[in-house]
């Protein structure tokens, strides 16, 4: 028994989400049914896809008005009616934006809190950050030593990890991110070779200086105009990985987004552009990615800064942080 606080969708946002798009509701929770567990949620992963599920139609299941907003999170089991999970177990899963999640035990996964801090299971080891970056760099781009890799959204959860994995694979890595502090962090803390500050610099000119022979791999998190800028500078045989297009998420993406005008560069340069959805990858592929990431994390070969916002009531603000680029590294909300 106890009280759950949850973020429900009050109306569909127009552009950047605001407080009035959501409502905090409180409810007394009842008995836990057979096969279910109750989880005291500690941290939520604030992911770009959350903005897209607030629209009436979306690739991931849309949130209805009055429903609790979708989110992944980590926490501890506080009640269990399932033999596979005990009170005190640390778990992660689709807990939604709330403080007490009551859900079928099979929906969550036990994680080892001795191996890594719980938040790492959303960040370095998380499906929507480290694992996404691994799949994009290793399985889609198949980065080779000596190649020049450009990563957009480079100082975020996925981008920070994608750049580090490409470095591990022997590539030269150029990040694109907004702000001098982000550029400094990527070069000095994460080992990126160079960073273009797209808010202050001419990206096309800087990329030409940094990669005069062209770009072998573009790992794109941003889309829109930036995709064209980089497409114009790809080399023969390049791979353009469409991970996301955060610059386009302020409306209903299912109705179409600003696509690349320079896509013929793919034909001219015998290159390919390929997207992927991490949630559609088979479990073995995800497990392989997480095992590699866990090894690098344990040996100090990768790191991911965590930006933690405080309080469930600041859910809209936290989404605003992501969409205005005020996060460095993985964005989390401590509930």
Please give the residue ranges that form the binding site for ligand NAP (CB under 6 A): 47-49, 128-129, 132, 153, 155-159, 177-179, 182, 221-222, 243-247, 276-278, 322-323, 325, 327, 331
Cα separation, 322 vs 147, in Å, equals 30
In whole angstroms, the minimum distance from the beta carbon of 283 to ligand NAP comes to: 15
- Which phi and psi angles does 251 have, rounded to 5°? -150, -155
- Residue 135: CA count within 13 A, CB half-sphere: 26
- Distance in Å, CB of 213 to ligand NAP, minimum: 25
Residue 285 burial (CB < 10 Å; 0-12/13-18/19+)? middle
Q: Which residue is at the shortest CB distance from ligand NAP?
A: 156
Considering beta carbons, is residue 44 or 278 the nearer one to ligand NAP? 278
Q: Cβ closer to ligand NAP: 102 or 219?
A: 219
Separation of alpha carbons 79 and 86, rounded Å: 8
Contact present, 330 and 304 (Cβ < 8 Å):
yes
User: In which region does residue 96 sit, left (phi positive, over 0), alpha (psi from -120 to 50) or beta (all else)?
Assistant: left
User: Closer to ligand NAP at the Cβ: 48 or 124?
Assistant: 48
Q: Considering beta carbons, is residue 91 or 151 the nearer one to ligand NAP? A: 151
- Asked if residue 240 lies in contact with residue 264, where contact means CB atoms within 8 angstroms, the answer is no
Q: Shortest gap between Cβ of 124 and ligand NAP (angstroms)?
A: 12
If the CB atoms of residues 17 and 244 are measured against ligand NAP, the closer one turns out to be 244
| Strand extents, DSSP E, the chain | 2-9, 22-29, 36-45, 72-80, 90-93, 100-104, 109-110, 148-152, 172-177, 194-197, 215-220, 234-242, 272-275, 306-310, 330-334
Looking at residue 223, the DSSP 8-state letter turns out to be: -
Of 68 and 132, CB closest to ligand NAP: 132
- For residues 235 and 227, give the distance between their C-alpha atoms in angstroms, rounded to a whole number: 14
Least distance to ligand NAP from the beta carbon of 111, Å?
Answer: 19
Q: At its nearest, how many Å lie between ligand NAP and the CB of residue 324?
A: 7
Residue closer to ligand NAP, measured from CB, 22 or 219: 219
Compare residues 40 and 276 and give the one whose CB is closer to ligand NAP. Answer: 276
Beta bridge partners of 134: none
From residue 305, give the alpha-carbon distance in Å to each of 43, 192, 302. Answer: 15, 14, 10
Q: Which is nearer to ligand NAP, 111 or 281 (CB)?
A: 281
Buried b / exposed e over 15-43, threshold 16 CB at 10 Å, is eebeeebbebeeeeeeebeeebbbbbbbb
Q: What is the smallest separation between the CB atom of 267 and ligand NAP, expressed in angstroms?
A: 24
């Amino acid at each position: 028994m106890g009280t759950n606080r949850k973020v429900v969708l009050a109306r569909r946002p127009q552009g950047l989400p605001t407080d009035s798009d959501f409502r905090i509701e409180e409810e007394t929770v009842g008995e836990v049914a057979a096969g279910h567990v109750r989880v005291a949620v500690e941290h939520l992963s604030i992911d770009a896809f959350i903005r897209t599920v607030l629209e009436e139609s979306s690739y991931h299941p849309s949130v209805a008005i009055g429903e609790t907003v979708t989110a992944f999170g980590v926490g501890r089991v506080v009640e269990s009616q399932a033999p596979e999970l005990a009170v005190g177990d640390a778990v992660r899963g689709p807990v939604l934006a709330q403080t007490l999640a009551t859900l079928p035990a099979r929906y969550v996964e036990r994680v080892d809190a001795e191996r890594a801090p719980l938040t790492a299971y959303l960040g370095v080891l998380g499906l929507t950050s480290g694992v996404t970056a691994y799949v994009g760099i290793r399985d889609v781009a198949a980065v080779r030593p000596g190649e020049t890799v450009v990563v957009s959204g480079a100082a975020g959860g996925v981008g920070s990890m994608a750049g580090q994995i490409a470095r591990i694979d022997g590539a030269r890595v150029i990040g694109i991110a907004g702000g001098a502090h982000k550029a400094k962090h990527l070069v000095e803390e994460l080992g990126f070779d160079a960073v273009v500050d797209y808010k202050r610099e001419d990206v096309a000119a800087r990329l030409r200086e940094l990669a005069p022979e062209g770009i072998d791999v573009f790992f794109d998190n941003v889309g829109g105009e930036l995709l064209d800028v980089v497409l114009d500078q790809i080399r023969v045989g390049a791979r353009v990985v469409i991970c996301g297009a955060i610059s386009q998420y302020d409306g209903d993406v299912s109705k179409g987004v600003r696509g690349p005008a320079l896509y013929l560069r793919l034909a001219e340069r015998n290159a390919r552009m390929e997207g992927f959805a991490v949630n559609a990858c088979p479990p073995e592929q995800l497990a392989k990615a997480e095992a590699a990431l866990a090894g690098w994390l344990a040996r100090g070969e990768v790191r991911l800064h965590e930006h933690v916002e405080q309080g469930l009531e600041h859910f809209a603000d936290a989404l605003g942080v992501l969409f205005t680029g005020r996060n460095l590294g993985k964005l989390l909300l401590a509930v």
